[in-house]
Amino acid sequence: MTENPELIAETPYIWRARRGDHRHRLICFPHAGAGAGAYAEWAALTPPEIELAAVQLPGRQNRIAEDPVTAVGPLVKVLTQALRPVMDGSFSFFGHSGGAVLAFEVARALHAKGGPRPSRLFLSAQPAPGTPGRVKQLHDLTDEELIGEVVDLGGIEAEIAEDEDVMDALLPTLRADFDLWEHHQVVPGPRLKTPITVLSGASDPRAPQDTLAGWREQTDGAFDIRLYPGGHFYFLNDPAELVGDISHVLLEAEKAGSLS
């Protein structure tokens, strides 16, 4: 076993840091404009019992030449099949911002099909369904305005934002992702049985604290909210605390026999 495995591409949709003796797998869904590599640091932070995998979507990193996704329904349908190789045992989902909505929609699709189901959902920096109008819309901003907003949120370093070549490559996917998730509405449906943990920065303008509790309505399982110091990208500078907390929740649930 590699003590600190690296997150590497295995299929178009899956990057994985293989651990042969893991007991649980954490599957991560990235935020707008980001790829699976956003979770590269996490591979060395998870304990040996947890294997890390991350979803890679078209239009970023090793899939930069592909057009970004423009419809949620077909994407969810593809992912319920494409993620099968990492849903062969005990697993949970983590998603940040738009990635939280995608993780939730994939979990709902799996539930509806009676397929493999995540043991827990960790939904980060995303208001609950049914709380529209609270967050500034970014998809229709000018390029300069959009870049400025994302820099202010902490999602892009100011130095990187000044590199025109990098931004020319990044902007189409970033804009397409905001357009996708800002227009997407979670339709009413059966409640999940999967426990949900909502995570957020205490001062996140894109996930105000009073918009988080509504996620409770989406599950008959356990529910809790955990707040961290910081804004929308509260974990980027030092993900160790967040990864440690997630790992602790999963390992404690395993001891209690509630992970399957």
Active site residues: 97
CA distance 26 to 222: 18
The arrangement of strands across the sheet holding 8-9 comes to 8-9, 14-17, 50-55, 24-29, 91-96, 121-124, 196-201, 223-228
DSSP 107-162: HHHHHHHT----S-EEEES-PPTT-TTSS---TTS-HHHHHHHHHHHTSS-HHHHT
Is the CB of residue 45 less than 8 Å from the CB of residue 243?
Answer: yes
202: how many CB neighbours lie within 10 A of its CB? 11
Contacts of 33 (CB under 8 A, 6+ apart): 60, 150, 155, 170, 173, 174, 177
CA distance 101 to 96: 8
